[in-house]
Amino acid sequence: MPTKRMIDTKVVDKIVEKMINTVDHSKDEIFLIGEHSRQEFETLAEELKEIKVQVLAVISEGDKLEVQARLARNRLSEVSGNFNDYSEEQIRSAYEKAHDLQMKLSIMQQKEKQLRERRDDIERRLLGVQETIERAEHLVGQISVVLNYLNSDLRQMGEMLENAKQKQEFGLKIIEAQEEERKRLSREIHDGPAQMLANVMMRSQLIDKVFRERGPEEGFKDIADLRIMVRSALYEVRRIIYDLRPMALDDLGLVPTLKKYLETIEDYSNSAKILFTNMGVEKRLPVKYEVALFRLVQEGVQNALKHSNATEILVKIEIAKTNVTVIVKDNGKGFDVNAKKQNSFGLMGMRERVELLEGQLKIETKKGAGTVIIIQVPLQF
């Protein structure tokens, strides 16, 4: 047989703790990236401010050199045009001055170009750093949300998985119980009504022969026996149908159906006295309440009959204006409510059904002192 793979909730808790530490460390790393980006942004912003000042100074200086160079070129043009009117020293001086100013202007223009390129580069870097800062802040915010989620909800993962595991096992038990119920019904129908109907068919075939060979008196006697067999088969079919879902529940309501059901169960069991008391108003409830409460009483009584060895079972119901209270009490051997039993899915099923009705289920029991099941369901309609 394949082995079941069990979930170790301690391992899950360790995994969640590791996740929290990893995410927390990642948050610190992203925060440091953001801080470094802010420092870089401040440094670049200060450098950009200085470069803009230098650009303005270079432009101003370049404008002055441009004027001086233009005057020097005009002077050189004038000297060159009137070569005979000026000495060689004056001509050389005019040429050197024009050349020197032109070189200074070229250098200043090149410096302005470099400063402008550096300015543009810093502005682009500032945009990138600003985007990095914004992304880091956004990621830190998202990680904070994740950490809150991990620290609050996922720390309860072990308990959640344990509940999920129990619900899964409960679901499998429900499937097994359904299959067992189908087998039981199949056996009951085969051994009861089906067998009786087969005998009815055989007896009906013989009645004609009895009339001819033994006379009417013997024939009518066989018909009377046949009628008894049919009545017994019908009784068994009705009993099986009643166990599945009493039709009286739809026609008469919860209280009369419970009364009749418990009387029938008492007759079938022959092992315990079942007392039923209605302490409230006998009135109809919405279908979901009547079906659920009937199944709860049915499960409580069957548990008492099967597991507690009770000789007396008391069922009380009180339908009030805003709620319904059901008590199932037996004088059986009781049990330890804190001990986990392998086949305690009957009580788990009762709890599930009560929770669906937003009610409460309380069990008072201990070994050797019987069991009291108290169910309270609010009426919301």
Q: Which residue has the higher pLDDT, 364 or 280?
A: 364
User: CB neighbours of 271 closer than 8 A, spacing ≥ 6?
Assistant: 305, 311
The band of 158, judged by pLDDT with boundaries at 50, 70 and 90, is low
Instruction: Give a yes or no: residue 135 inside a domain.
Output: yes
Q: Residue 99 belongs to what domain range?
A: 9-152
Query: What's the CATH number where 271 sits?
Result: 3.30.565.10
Instruction: Give a yes or no: residue 168 inside a domain.
Output: yes
Q: Which residue has the higher pLDDT, 152 or 54?
A: 54
Q: What is the pLDDT of residue 315?
A: 95
- Say if residue 197's pLDDT is above 60: yes
Query: What's the CATH number where 33 sits?
Result: 1.10.287.950
Instruction: Give a yes or no: residue 258 inside a domain.
Output: yes
Q: What is the pLDDT of residue 2?
A: 44
The C-alpha atoms of residue 297 and residue 328 are separated, in whole angstroms, by 7
User: CB neighbours of 143 closer than 8 A, spacing ≥ 6?
Assistant: 23, 26, 27, 30
Q: Are residues 201 and 146 in the same domain?
A: no
To 5 degrees, how large is the angle CA 94–CA 99–CA 100?
100
User: What average pLDDT does this structure show over 335-355?
Assistant: 70
Task: Tell me the CB-side half-sphere exposure of residue 289, using CA atoms within 13 A.
Answer: 22
The C-alpha atoms of residue 276 and residue 314 are separated, in whole angstroms, by 6
> What is the count of structural domains for the chain?
3
Q: Are residues 54 and 178 in the same domain?
A: no
CA distances from 43 to 39, 115, 134 (A): 6, 17, 17
- Say if residue 372's pLDDT is above 90: yes
Q: Are residues 231 and 317 in the same domain?
A: no
33-80: per-residue pLDDT in tens?
888 888 988 998 999 999 899 999 999 998 898 888 888 888 888 887
Instruction: Give a yes or no: residue 4 inside a domain.
Output: no
Q: Looking at 196, 215, 244, which one is the last position of a domain?
A: 244
Residues in the chain: 381
- Say if residue 3's pLDDT is above 50: no
Q: Are residues 233 and 251 in the same domain?
A: no
245-270: per-residue pLDDT in tens?
666 788 888 999 999 888 888 877 77
Q: What is the pLDDT of residue 352?
A: 82
Strand order of the sheet with strand 323-330? 273-278, 312-319, 323-330, 371-378, 360-365
Q: Are residues 358 and 271 in the same domain?
A: yes
The band of 143, judged by pLDDT with boundaries at 50, 70 and 90, is confident
**Dihedral Cα 291, 292, 294, 297, nearest 10 deg:** 170
Task: Tell me the CB-side half-sphere exposure of residue 338, using CA atoms within 13 A.
Answer: 1
The band of 1, judged by pLDDT with boundaries at 50, 70 and 90, is very low
The band of 343, judged by pLDDT with boundaries at 50, 70 and 90, is very low
Tokens of 310: 């009770």
Q: Are residues 229 and 257 in the same domain?
A: no
Q: What is the pLDDT of residue 155?
A: 54
Q: Are residues 126 and 221 in the same domain?
A: no
Q: What is the pLDDT of residue 97?
A: 87
Q: Are residues 94 and 189 in the same domain?
A: no
CA distances from 32 to 21, 38, 127, 131, 133 (A): 17, 10, 19, 15, 10
Instruction: Give a yes or no: residue 2 inside a domain.
Output: no
User: CB neighbours of 250 closer than 8 A, spacing ≥ 6?
Assistant: 287
